[in-house]
Amino acid sequence: AEMSRVLADSNHVPLHRLSLLVHSVSIMHKSLDSMPEDENWKALTRNSANLRVYIMVFDVKSDDMLRILKPSIPLERIHFDSYITCVSGAVVDLISRQYDKFLTHFILMNDVIDMSGFPDLSDNRNEDPLVLLAWRCTRLSLLAVHGYTVWAHNLIAIARLRGSDLKVLEVTEESIDFDQGELADQ
């Protein structure tokens, strides 16, 4: 929060890019109470109207991410990488709602070894958070998913929603799953 206040000062040259690393180890040793609040982000973007933020997240719990992701962050790129924890569908949904104007890159990687299969972000709901991300974030040009279940029909929906604007759609083959009805049809 203090750093954002200093950078928001009108005496500083406006920022164009800010890259942030959020790691579970740093969260264990420092409180999230010192994180910038939404007012801090608003002040920073007033002085730096063209600011875009890139966040790289390593093994951060979804509850902590919900506290970090403030609506006024001009988030352009986010990269989740997990070895211990998994990103929740709620976090993906929040990102698609809050950052629909700026988000261009969304990378979701999970290296959690779980014999029961890859986590499914849709939580058996009708609305898949990745499809909603593709629908809401009209500037999305890169979507990469590794180690999370992506249903084949949702993968087709994502590709159709973004069309040729989606330059990179990268999904690990093992992540793609089919409904039993789809398998019978094929």
- Residues 102, 75: Cα–Cα separation, whole Å: 6
In a domain, 48, yes or no: yes
Q: What is the pTM of this model?
A: 0.90
In a domain, 6, yes or no: no
Segment 116-141, tens digit of pLDDT: 678 888 866 678 999 999 999 999 99
The CA-CA-CA angle for residues 69, 109, 3, to 5°, reads 30
Tokens of 27: 């969260």
> The domain that contains 124 carries what CATH number?
3.80.10.10
What is the band of 35 on the pLDDT scale with cuts at 50, 70, 90? confident
**Does residue 9 lie in a domain region?**
no
Look at residue 182 and tell me if it is in a domain. no
How many domains, the chain? 1
What is the share, in percent, of the chain residues with pLDDT greater than 90? 57
pLDDT of 20 reads 93
User: Which residues share a beta bridge with 19?
Assistant: 54
Q: Coil, strand, or helix at residue 99? A: coil
Rounded alpha-carbon distances, angstroms, from residue 92 to 3, 6, 114: 27, 30, 21
Residue 186 pLDDT exceeds 90: no
For residue 175, pLDDT over 90 is answered with no
Residue 1 within a domain: no
- Within a domain: 186: no
Segments forming the whole domain that contains residue 169: 14-177
